[in-house]
Amino acid sequence: MNIVIIGTGLIGGSMALSARGFETKIIGVDTSEENLKKAMELGIIDMAMPLEQAVQIADLIIISIPVDAAREMLPSILDNIRDDAVVIDTGSTKAGICGKVRNHPRRGNFVASHPMAGTEFSGPSAALVGLFKDKKAIICEKELSSDFALKRALTLYRLLGMNVLYMSAEDHDKHIAYVSHLTHVIAYALSLTVQEIEKNEENLGQEEENPENGENADNLEGLENSQLSEEVQKATANYKSYALSRIASKKTYPYSARSKGIEGKVRVRLVIENDGSVSACEIVEACNSDILNEACLMAIKKASPFKKMPAGMKSLSLTFVMDYSLK
């Protein structure tokens, strides 16, 4: 069996190392000659080959390149494969690539998947044999993949030691967006907890100075206002989580930046009004790439307008970092 790995970095390289159980020839395809040379030296691939030539002899093609590039490349790959070849992608978003080939004559040859594994390192040197063991692999729209394609994909993921889950492309992207911004939500929730503890400590000190204060009507009204404030804080935390997740779902990593290895972090601030409109949006700390700075603003533009805020909320100021990393 000929397995073609498009993208010989951490994920593609690790899959190549683990796919040796297929008793196959591993063919590498990469825009980086340096990566191909390193992959050959490390025994990750058996040979390098141009894309057009590789897809014509492949039994299994694993696309492990940035999502934008994979989405644009997939239709052409399906056009040129053999009838019994199978194509698998490893991208972290699925709706775009699934939509791109939904009506393709060879849609059945394609299995949309996301092996959820990784490290902080990148490139062929970061490839590991056991990277995927006991991790989750998500397959989307399995009903659109042929039986033989699905079987080959399952054989691969079981060989990697992965547990396979199934879901729609839309559900996958929604859940991944939630997870990717979970750290932001946790940090925000923690800050609210700290504020609440500090407020309670202040209130406790006041009660010790004047124990009778809690018995009058003014303090009863204050208690009601405090409860209302807590509800608004919870609503604000939930809305912030929603807004960040929505922005994340619209994020794209421009191929013009990915193909050149351009990475960066963009810190941005926006103000969302009660009706969900964005009244202000500015880059607080730009990265060195205008392409990534513009991509960050475009994600926010695509995400807006947001849904209307719950009662009690007037506006929301958000400051966050959008990370563009090839790792």
* HEC letters along the chain: CEEEEECCCHHHHHHHHHHHHHCCEEEEECCCHHHHHHHHHCCCCCEECCHHHHHHHCCEEEECCCHHHHHHHHHHHHHHCCCCCEEEECCCCCHHHHHHCCCCCCHHHEEEEEEECCCCCCCHHHCCCCCCCCCEEEEECHHHCCHHHHHHHHHHHHHCCCEEEEECHHHHHHHHHHHHCHHHHHHHHHHHHHHHHHHHHHHHHHHHHCHHHHHCHHHHHHHHHHHHHHHHHHHHHHHHHHHHHHHHHCCCCCHHHHCCCCCEEEEEEEEEECCCCEEEEEEEECCCCHHHHHHHHHHHHHHCCCCCCCCCCCEEEEEEEEEECCC
CB 240 within 8 A of CB 303: no
Helical ranges in 4-45 per DSSP H: 10-18, 33-41
Ranked by mean pLDDT, which of 152-166, 168-182, 211-225 comes out on top? 152-166
Query: Residue 282 pairs with which residues in a beta bridge?
Result: 269
C-alpha span between 151 and 153 (Å, rounded): 5
CB 33 within 8 A of CB 49: no
User: Residue 213 above 70 pLDDT?
Assistant: no
C-alpha span between 108 and 152 (Å, rounded): 12
User: Residue 29 above 80 pLDDT?
Assistant: yes
CA atoms within 13 A on the CB side of 15: 33
Q: How confident is the model at residue 163 (pLDDT cuts 50, 70, 90)?
A: very high
Q: How far is CA 176 from each of CA 92, 113, 168, 309, rounded to the nearest angstrom? A: 8, 13, 12, 23
- Determine if the pTM surpasses 0.75: no
User: Residue 187 above 80 pLDDT?
Assistant: no
In the sheet where 315-324 sits, what is the strand order? 278-285, 264-273, 315-324
| 181-324: CATH class | alpha beta
Q: 3-state DSSP call for residue 308?
A: coil
C-alpha span between 154 and 168 (Å, rounded): 17
Q: pLDDT tens for residues 99-118?
A: 999 999 999 999 999 998 87
Q: Residue ranges per domain, the chain?
A: 2-173, 181-324
Average pLDDT in the chain: 84
Share of the chain above pLDDT 70, in %: 83
pLDDT mean over 19-25: 72
Residue 115 carries which side chain, given as an amino acid letter?
P
Q: pLDDT tens for residues 75-84?
A: 999 999 999 9
Q: What is the dihedral of CA 184, 188, 193, 196, to 10 degrees?
A: 180
State the Cα angle at 99 between 93 and 101, rounded to 5°: 110
pLDDT mean over 241-263: 85
User: Residue 241 above 90 pLDDT?
Assistant: no
Pick the CATH number of 2-173 from 3.40.718.10, 3.20.20.70, 1.10.10.10, 3.40.50.720: 3.40.50.720
Query: Residue 131 pairs with which residues in a beta bridge?
Result: none
Tokens of 33: 């000659």
